[in-house]
């Protein structure tokens, strides 16, 4: 059943929008970064990253929702001017029959709560405008940072499972229980900054989105 499409969610420090084919360079750079994809199957070649983007555009057409492009306003450059930059991806995709939450943040913006902010915005979108009854998530057992994101976003651990020969953990939350689980999380207000050194020498640099 196709769900009626709704406007993208709103977050305090992030702009979330529906992707387009013009996002291919940013998506390929993010998914080709070994530090980003360490627990997600490894770096993805550019052609496969573009196919993944196309698959998500198709997912949007079929279901009325999907992955969202994240953009953030940061001060950068010698003039210290605030610029809108590509900050990552987050959203909901059907996986094994249920909506599945996922998120990846550009390495220069790590450690500032943007993963949690994006996850909360996506869950609010899921249980509000989209009217979904349940959202699931799967995370690698060694990816403790992502596990903390899911915990803070109000999801709960369900069980262990093996995926692609690797140990993973299943999380889930229902529309009924989510408001109480996330209710004590304070909105993020701290300005976003860029890490002076990327966590990985091969990490993709921040890119300013092209005008659309």
Flag whether 26 is in a domain: yes
Flag whether 35 is in a domain: yes
Interacting residues of 207 by C-beta distance below 8 A, sequence separation 6+: 25, 26, 29, 85, 86
Flag whether 196 is in a domain: no
Q: Taking the CA atoms of the chain, what radius of gyration do you get in angstroms?
A: 16
pLDDT classification of 183: cutoffs 50, 70, 90 = confident
Beta sheet of 14-17, edge-to-edge order = 14-17, 67-75, 82-95, 98-105, 134-140, 166-174, 156-163
Flag whether 114 is in a domain: yes
Task: Give pLDDT tens digits for 68-97.
Answer: 999 998 877 677 778 889 999 999 999 999
> For the domain that residue 151 is a member of, what is the CATH number?
3.40.630.30
> What total number of domains does the chain contain?
1
Over range 60-71, report the average pLDDT.
96
Flag whether 80 is in a domain: yes
The per-residue pLDDT of the chain, averaged, comes to 87
What's the maximum distance between 2 C-alpha atoms anywhere in the chain?
51
Please state which of the ranges 17-21, 121-125, 185-189 shows the lowest mean pLDDT: 185-189
158-175 as b/e, with b when 16 or more CB fall inside 10 Å?
eeeeeeeeeebbbbbbeb
Over range 139-143, report the average pLDDT.
93
Q: Taking 80 as the threshold, does the pLDDT of residue 52 lie above it?
A: yes
Flag whether 212 is in a domain: no
Flag whether 2 is in a domain: no
Flag whether 207 is in a domain: no
User: What is the predicted pLDDT for the residue at 188?
Assistant: 62
Secondary structure of residue 18 in the 3-state scheme: coil
User: What is the predicted pLDDT for the residue at 211?
Assistant: 42
Domain membership of residue 82 as a residue range: 14-182
């Amino acid at each position: 059943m196709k769900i009626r499409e709704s406007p993208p969610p709103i977050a305090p420090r992030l702009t979330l929008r529906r992707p387009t084919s013009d996002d291919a360079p940013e998506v390929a750079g993010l998914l080709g970064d070994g530090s980003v994809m360490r627990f997600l199957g490894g770096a993805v070649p550019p052609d496969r990253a573009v196919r993944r983007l196309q698959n998500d555009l198709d997912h949007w057409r079929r279901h009325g929702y999907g992955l969202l492009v994240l953009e953030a306003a940061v001060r950068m450059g010698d003039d210290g001017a605030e610029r809108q930059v590509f900050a990552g991806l987050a959203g909901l995709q059907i996986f094994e029959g249920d909506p599945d939450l996922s998120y990846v943040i550009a390495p220069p913006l790590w450690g500032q709560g943007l993963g949690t902010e994006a996850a909360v915005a996506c869950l609010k979108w899921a249980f509000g405008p989209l009217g979904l009854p349940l959202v699931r998530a799967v995370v690698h057992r060694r990816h403790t940072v992502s596990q903390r994101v899911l915990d803070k976003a109000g999801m709960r651990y369900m069980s262990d499972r093996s995926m692609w020969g690797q140990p993973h953990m299943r999380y889930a939350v229902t529309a009924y229980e989510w408001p109480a689980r996330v209710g004590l999380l304070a909105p993020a207000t701290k300005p976003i900054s860029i890490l002076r050194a990327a966590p990985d020498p091969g990490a993709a640099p921040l890119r300013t989105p092209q005008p659309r």
